[in-house]
A = this chain, B = another copy of it.
Amino acid sequence: MPNAITIFSPSSVSNVGPGFDILGFALDDLGDKITLTLIDGDYDIKSIGAELPSDPDQNVATVALKSLAKSCGYQGGFSIQIEKKFKPGSGLGSSASSAAGAVFAANELLELGLSKKELIPYALDGEQVASGQRHGDNIVPCMLGGFVAVKSVEPYEGFHIDTPEDLKVLIIFPDVPIKTAEARKILPQEVPLKTGIQQAADMAGLVISLMTADYELIKGCLEDHFGTPYRKRLIPFFDEVKEMAFEAGAYGFNISGSGPAMFAFFKKGDDLESLKHQIVQQYKGADIEVRFHESGINKKGCEVL
């Protein structure tokens, strides 16, 4: 048994349009690179690219590891090194990447033989520390890969949605701070029945359009009537950027997670340089830095490097 392993755990987009708290997908080429080492002592955390909590009871990765260790009877410690490309609080499932990646790595290293689905509850234990919630729409796509709908997390019940092969995601990340817990507080706890019906209708349309690669329909249905109308106010220039994206031919646009990152759908091969330039100019006026990421949907989820 080796005593160290390095894995990749992808970033993910959750709250996908009408899939508030339900739909999420994993991203290629963006996420956490985690090296986990078995040690005799306690828990040791090293973070690269972001300042993560060093208290093992506050860090999502070590909380997830502790939960798994308790369940499987592992008495030793872990040294974990987490290398982040995006900082936490971006809306790209940073805590899910760390929590899912940590338990995925531990399962491999300790040869526990648990399936990825069986690891989900431990990863949720970790993510809960950061978000105060147990939603699976980041953890599940991060762990399993692909585009998923999460019906319930305990017990885990979810389903994979086939997406068009040539779908490309553009992530737009303006560097303004948003805390998931705060973004949740501003939401009303009741919605008009009519709004609930609209959300379900767009969900039907989005699922059908993804499964049949009907891009025009995706565009019409990638709306969220529960969270976006409130949360978009926390994101400077949301409406302006959305309009730019649509003018550049986007097939849908919305907030990633609880923001500030936004995502837009395009087709592979679409040239987005001019759009990016426009967006950079928009934010420059307000002295806000903006970053981009272009990728396909990650089909693998967590993987050993």
Contacts and interface: CB of A to CB of B under 8 A. Distances in A.
B18 A208 contact: no
Nearest to A204: B149
Interface residues of A, number: 38
Contacts of A195: 196
**Number of identical monomers bound together in the oligomeric complex:** 2
Contacts of A202: 151
A123 B209 CA distance: 27
A150 interface: yes
Interface of A: 18-23, 149-152, 157, 159, 161, 187-193, 195-197, 199-205, 207-209, 211, 217, 220-221, 226
B190 A220 contact: no
A22 B200 contact: yes
Contacts of A197: 20-22, 226
A205 B151 contact: yes
B201 A150 contact: yes
B157 A204 contact: no
B157 A220 contact: yes
Contacts of A221: 151
A158 to B, nearest CB: 9
A193 B211 CA distance: 27
